[in-house]
Amino acid sequence: MSSYSYNTFFALSLLAATALTGCGTDSVTLQSVSTSNSSVIDTQAVDNSFVGESGVSTVTSNPVEISTPVVEKSAPEANPDFVSTTKNANVVIPVLENDNSPDAEIVRLDIISWPNAGELVVEANGSVIYSPHAGFEGSDSFVYQIEDENGEIASALVDIRVSCDAQAGECSYPVRLSWSIEKSDDVTGYYVYHGLNSGDYPDRHWVPNLETVFEIELADLGSHFFVVTVVDKDGQESGYSKEAIIVL
């Protein structure tokens, strides 16, 4: 057969004061009189033994307003959560662990939007248990609300990812293998070989001539090895291409 050279390519798809003075006689006794607007007026009493100048001093004090600062209470802060679990397996979500309530204790937790593909149980300690529906695999979510002892509230979203159990061999992973080769009328197709050990490829898959892409679902975790060969019109098969490795 003709000799072909080809390459392989593998891909996964925030106060004012005023002083007044005047004349008078005799002694002076000062008295204080309070008025309704908090002013203080000093008055004098005169007797005949006083010699000298007398006067009246008036001190006026404007009312003083005293304001008491109002301390605003801070609402609690609820933060989003993300958890994952495997198919048919419950998961405990400690939703309060990353929430904050600086001024008051959180006293209530409510679910205000329920998941579509699972059930919830709210525990006394504030944790939430999510149970996916039988066989469900994919994304789900719910929204919860917290309330503190001052009546302040906050809410947050919880995202949940339910996946297959890879350790139990329940998962499959799509893999695409592609390669390039010089065009030739002599080529009728390709064989794609696959195995779990380098140099050992027990699985063989036929790919027609016009195709240089091969897709396969793999279930086993670990390394997977691939090579490609070319087949001509006479049924003759070339040697292996360079080995490609995919690790799951």
Position 229: which residue type? T
Mean pLDDT of 107-135: 97
- Residue 170 has what pLDDT? 80
- Residue 185 has what pLDDT? 82
Fold classification of 81-166 (topology level): Immunoglobulin-like (2.60.40)
pLDDT band, residue 130 (cuts 50/70/90) = very high
Asked if domains 81-166 and 171-247 share a fold, the reply is: yes
Architecture of 171-247 per CATH?
Sandwich (2.60)
Distance from C-alpha of 245 to C-alpha of 156, rounded to nearest angstrom:
43
What pTM was estimated for this model as a whole?
0.52
Every domain of the chain and the residues it spans: 17-59, 81-166, 171-247
pLDDT digits (tens, 9 = 90+) for 233-245: 999 999 999 999 9
205-231 per-residue burial string, b: 16 or more CB within 10 A, e: under 16: eebebeebebebebeeeeebbbbbbbb
Check if the beta carbon of residue 147 is closer than 8 Å to that of residue 171. no
Give the start-end residues of each E strand in 87-152. Answer: 91-93, 106-113, 118-122, 128-132, 138-148
Check if the beta carbon of residue 67 is closer than 8 Å to that of residue 150. no
Mean pLDDT of 182-202: 92
pLDDT band, residue 7 (cuts 50/70/90) = very low
- Residue 23 has what pLDDT? 40
Mean pLDDT of 102-111: 93
Residue with tokens 């008055």: 43
- Residue 8 has what pLDDT? 35
